[in-house]
Copies of this chain bind each other. A is one copy, B any other.
Amino acid sequence: MELENLLKQRGLKVTDQRKAIVKVLKDCNCMLSARDIFDKVKQIIPGVNFSTIYRNLDLMSRKGILCGLMVDTGVSLYGLHREEGHHHHLVCKGCGRSMAIDYCPMSSVEKELAKKGFSPTEHEFIVYGFCGSCGTSGRGE
């Protein structure tokens, strides 16, 4: 019921596909690619179309309901937007999950940017590696 209000507040209609996308992300509690989300939503709504997924991931990200992340392979990952505010991510190369970290490097570079006359708008900080369960050796591919 909470999601319904969130969507309405942002002027978005409450549709089954949007509810399914959010459910999938809530259940997984990690960030997923559009394809992963599509596959999981299909188990809930067999007839969903991929373009509906893409349109909603984009729209809900722009409305602050989801947040997107571009990883170094050029694929976007999406997750629920954390209200707690700004944060960055660890991406596990073993299981593909991502976790949040609160540390943000921006305050440490502000002076250097000002000196260069650069006005920052966005930034990203992503750490790739292996999480506790996947270990330093990874799990192959």
Instruction: Write the residues of chain A forming the contact surface with B, with a CB cutoff of 8 angstroms.
Output: 70-76, 90, 92-93, 99, 101-103, 105-106, 108-109, 112-113, 116-132, 135-136
CB of A128 within 8 A of CB of B136, answer no
Whether A127 contacts B131 in the complex (CB less than 8 A), given A70-B70, A73-B70, A101-B112, comes out as no
User: What 15 additional pairs, Cβ within 8 angstroms, besides A108-B108, A113-B127, A123-B127?
Assistant: A70-B74, A93-B121, A105-B105, A105-B108, A116-B132, A117-B131, A119-B135, A120-B128, A121-B129, A122-B127, A123-B125, A123-B128, A124-B124, A124-B125, A125-B125
CA distance A42 to B12 in the complex (A): 47
CB of B118 within 8 A of CB of A132, answer yes
**What B residues does A135 contact at CB under 8 A?**
119
CB of B118 within 8 A of CB of A108, answer no
Identical chains in the assembly: 2
CA distance A117 to B71 in the complex (A): 21
Expressed in whole angstroms, the minimum distance between the Cβ of A124 and any Cβ of chain B is 5
Whether A122 contacts B72 in the complex (CB less than 8 A), given A109-B101, A112-B103, A127-B109, comes out as yes
CA distance A112 to B118 in the complex (A): 29
